[in-house]
Structure 1
């Protein structure tokens, strides 16, 4: 259960955060939110897929880590075996908080029930002895700002993909070396042929809006699917 609080030095002056990697630290997930602004950075490591939210009637993007719930194939012996992580993973256990109407300045919140919150006094300090943010917290705040900005800007990107029918349903059967099989369903990916056949005017529109780069980065990221299957087939040391 979550326990969100507004971060402040009075209540959290002695707070410390575990910054390692591990399934017990909240990294045991098969995918996480990715925003279009970070596709270039993520495309070298992760497959980027899309999922439709029927309740919100909109798409979002995910960086894929595994093929089963709770599986993160990038975690090994307490290390995250990739050169980068999605912002949504890097900022944990912090998050952006806003008023109910979405107006007013954003605030840094923390989930005190998150396993990264250190109960034993070990980890990175959030505030210094004078109650000022530490360099660690400053870095987290920068990432939170980038994530929030990228999430808000991403709405136009996903709307453009939907408007021009640039997403197609995707399913995949993952067969491992031991013969076991896993079927992935419910995802979408960029429809490469539709992108290829876009009219010049539409291409110009997408380019002017800054949407072409994340489209191409998402396409390029699909080469990581085969790498992820190979990770799945290898013996794991979590």
Structure 2
């Protein structure tokens, strides 16, 4: 369930939000949605994979945190063990909403039923004692704007991947030291061979449209699987 409201100081002046990482706040997730405009930051920490939605037949991009549902190998002792958190995670419990008319600028909404909403007086204030946005809220507003823009630009990116048939199915078998095995399936990655086979005109088009860099970043991110496996092994060793 969710309870979305337009954020305003009159109704939410005393609101506080838990900002540290914890499973109880929804951080125990195997993956998070990411947008191409943040791929450069994402690839330095996480593998980027793509998943097709069966209902819409559309692709989305994901940063992987683990190998099983509910497993976040970057989450431990109230801390997020990476230098970058995907924007879709960092903005919670806030989101961009539209006016009831469906027209006009996006508005900052908040989900008052989200577990990050503080009910005990702890956490970071959203508004100060004068009803002005705190630096925390100003940063959230910046992230919301960047994420919203990233989502709007994503459609052209995925259309380009489809046009050049640059996504291929991906399965990864992960044998572990305790004898168990994790299998990742149902995802896609950039098809490097087809990318290499593109002619100069196609590559020029991808570059001029701003798609070539995020494609390269998605490819580069696959090197992070070794680190993800190492985190899994460390989690097993630690019990």
Pairwise TM-score range, normalised by the shorter structure: over 0.9
Match of 1:98 in 2: 98
Distance 1:143 1:35 in 2: 12
1:103 positional shift: 2.7
* Structure 1 residue 46: Cα displacement: 0.2
Partner of 2:150: 150
Structure 1, unaligned runs of 5 or more: none
Q: Which residue of 2 aligns with 1:24?
A: 24
CA RMSD of aligned residues (A): 1.4
- 1:75 corresponds to: 75
Which runs of 5 or more residues in structure 2 are unaligned?
none
* 1:54 counterpart = 2:34: no
SS in structure 2 opposite 1:204?
A: helix
What CA distance in whole angstroms lies between the structure 2 residues aligned with 1:129 and 1:227? 44
TM-score, length-normalised on structure 1? 0.96
Residue 101 (structure 1) shift: 6.9
Q: Deviations for 1:39-86, whole angstroms, at most 9, x for unmatched residues? A: 001111000000111222211100000011111000111111101110
Give the distance between the partners of 1:203 and 1:54, measured in 2 at CA: 29
Q: 1:68 to 1:149 in 2, by over 3 A?
A: same
Post-superposition offset of 1:115: 1.1
Deviating above 4 A after TM superposition, structure 1's stretches of 4 or more consecutive aligned residues are 99-102
Alpha-carbon deviations, 1:161-192, whole Å to 9, x = none? 01100000011112111011121111000000
The number of residues matched between the two structures is 238
Moved more, 78-87 or 228-237: 228-237
1:108-131 Cα shifts (integer Å, max 9, x gaps)? 111111111110011110011121
1:136-157 deviation line (CA, Å, top 9, x unaligned): 1000000000000001001100
Which of 1-10 and 210-219 deviates more?
Answer: 1-10
SS in 2 for 1:234: helix
Mapped partners of 1:108, 1:150: distance in 2: 16
Q: What does residue 64 of structure 2 align with?
A: 64
Query: Secondary structure of 2:235's match?
Result: coil
Residues in 2 aligned to 1:182 and 1:100: alpha-carbon distance in whole angstroms = 45
Q: Compared with structure 1, are the counterparts of its residues 232 and 102 closer, same or farther at alpha carbon in structure 2 (3 Å cutoff)?
A: farther
What's 1:111 paired with? Answer: 111
Contact persistence 2:22–2:79 (CA under 8 A): yes
TM-score by length of 2: 0.96
